[in-house]
Amino acid sequence: MEGRIQKAREGKWNGGFAPYGYRLEEGKLFIYEEEAVAIRTIFDQYVNTTIGANGLSKYLENHGIRKIPRQNGKNPLFDAGLIRKILKNPVYNGKIAFGRRTLEKVHGTRNEYKQVEQDEYLISEGIHEAIVSDEVWQAAKVKLKSQAKKYEHVNKGKDTRTHLLSGIVKCPICGVGMFGNKCIKKKKDGTKYKDFYYYGCKHRQMIRGHKCTFSKQIREELLDDAVAEVIVKIVSNPKFASMMQEKINMKVDTCEIEKEIDNYQKELRKSHSTKFKLIEEIDNLDADDKHYKRRKQDLDDRLYRMYDKIEDLESLLIDAKAKKQTIEAEKLTGDNIYKVLIYFDKLYKVMNDVERRQLITALISEIQVYEEKQPNGQWLKSITFRLPIVDDDLNISLDNDEHVESVVLMTRK
Ligand SMILES: [Zn+2]
């Protein structure tokens, strides 16, 4: 272990197969042009276009960029997983990392281990040539970071139906997100009833010793329609369109974060120049000086500390840039939603299930339902919006045939 850390500190490749794009000669990494083309394309497209890892995989295939077979690589394709690994590998920026992945024992087994990606790992300047420039590498890191959030909540059920309010509607007893299910019932003679979909609490099965008692099935159609009706009511307010227009024209304030970015960049420039000065001083040391060893040691220590500082600053800078990108992306998403809302009643009708789901998830953070179906046949109790589309908390009544008022509370976070 120590030996490998030492090698990483010295910028040498610490064993194992050469990463794709490089070949190994006498323990050193050299760019392997035939493979490096793919690496450059991956970074270039990722940084300069809006496509993500999945799109990149298709892009490479369409452009005839195939993975060159190797003894350690079985997969002939650049799939999204591999592309993400490539985008995260500091070796392409001329760095040597150690401890990016460690083995951890699988809980409850005697000797099974799994690889775990570490957030913190040792990194040092490699002695090999970088395939991607610092600028491109940093930009890729920023995009990876700002996109990471998007992948957190991708859950696809076994059936292909998109359940509009899955996870958004909360169980009135235990409070967790309720999920869409398909109900298949058979008649006594064995023929099937028409399938229907409902939201149910997923804690009905025993999970970690808890079982929720809410066993009602809420028809998806009924709740979905009620939510759409409420939104139609909000947007049909004559003042609504101009209110949304105002929000679209509003500028986001990235002043603070820009100041932060500036500061880190200044600090980084300073640290780099200190680093160069230290290297120069080390080079100029007089080996005949009787204090040579001690002075060399002293300068080496200061140089290592400077490397650590630069690394810290770089990661702070990346965080700050990612934050700025997220703020801007959120503003864009918000604007798009406001634009859709202005024409909600027309657009919603022509949207497909997936588009509706995207709109609803971006718009609504939470839906509460009653424990019992209300006398007018409704379940909907309240809607909490992510975006300020209502000025203050607001009550809206749902239409119904029996003239029994059902009031839905609108709030925003
Ligand atoms: Zn529950």
Compute the C-alpha angle 197/198/201, nearest 5°: 145
Q: Is residue 258 within 8 Å of 321, Cβ to Cβ?
A: no
Q: Report CA(214)–ligand 1 centroid distance (Å).
A: 5
Compute the distance between CA of residue 385 and CA of residue 362 in angstroms, rounded to an integer: 9
β-sheet bridge partners, residue 406: 398
Q: What distance in angstroms lies between residue 179's CA and the mean position of ligand 1's atoms?
A: 10
At residue 16, does pLDDT exceed 90? no
Phi, psi of 397 (to 5 degrees): -95, 145
> Ligand 1 center to residue 38 CA distance, Å?
49
Q: Which of 271, 335, 277 is nearest to 307 (CA)?
A: 271
Is residue 358 within 8 Å of residue 340, measured between CB atoms?
no
CB 365 within 8 A of CB 385: yes
Distance from residue 167's CA to the centre of ligand 1 (Å): 12
Look at 215 and 190; give whichever has higher pLDDT: 215
Paired sense of beta strands 178-183 and 101-105, if any: unpaired
Show the tokens assigned to 310. 């630069």
Residue in the block written with tokens 């009511």? 233
Q: How many angstroms is it from 178 CA to the middle of ligand 1? A: 7
From the list 112, 62, 96, 55, the residue with the least C-alpha distance to 79 is 55
Average pLDDT over residues 248-276: 91
Which of 101-105, 212-216, 394-398 is the least confident region? 101-105
> Is residue 386 within 8 Å of 364, Cβ to Cβ?
yes
DSSP-derived secondary structure for 326-390: HHHHHHHHHHHHHHHHHTHHHHHHH--HHHHHHHHHHHEEEEEE-SS--TTS--EEEEEESS--S
CA of 170 to the centre of ligand 1 (A): 8
Cα–ligand 1 centroid distance for 215 (angstroms):
8
Query: Cα of 160 to ligand 1 centre, how many Å?
Result: 24
Which residues of 12-121 form beta strands (DSSP E)? 22-25, 28-31, 95-98, 101-105, 113-117
Beta sheet of 196-201, edge-to-edge order:
178-183, 196-201, 218-219
Query: For residues 377 and 401, what is the distance between their CA atoms, to the nearest angstrom?
Result: 10
> What's the CA-to-centroid distance between 352 and ligand 1, angstroms?
29
Contact yes or no for 57/110 (Cβ under 8 A): no
97 Cα: distance to centroid of ligand 1 (angstroms): 46
Between the CA of 186 and the centroid of ligand 1 the distance, in Å, is 26
* pLDDT tens figures, 91-123: 999 987 766 655 566 666 666 666 656 555 666
Rounded average pLDDT over 214-242: 89
401 falls in which pLDDT band (50, 70, 90)? very low
CA of 107 to the centre of ligand 1 (A): 28
Checking if the pLDDT of 60 tops 60, the result is yes
Q: What is the mean pLDDT of residues 201-226?
A: 81
Taking 70 as the threshold, does the pLDDT of residue 233 lie above it? yes
Q: Which residues contact 296 (CB under 8 A, 6 or more apart)?
A: 282, 285
- Give me ligand 1 centre to Cα 177, in Å: 8
- Residue 157 pLDDT > 50: no
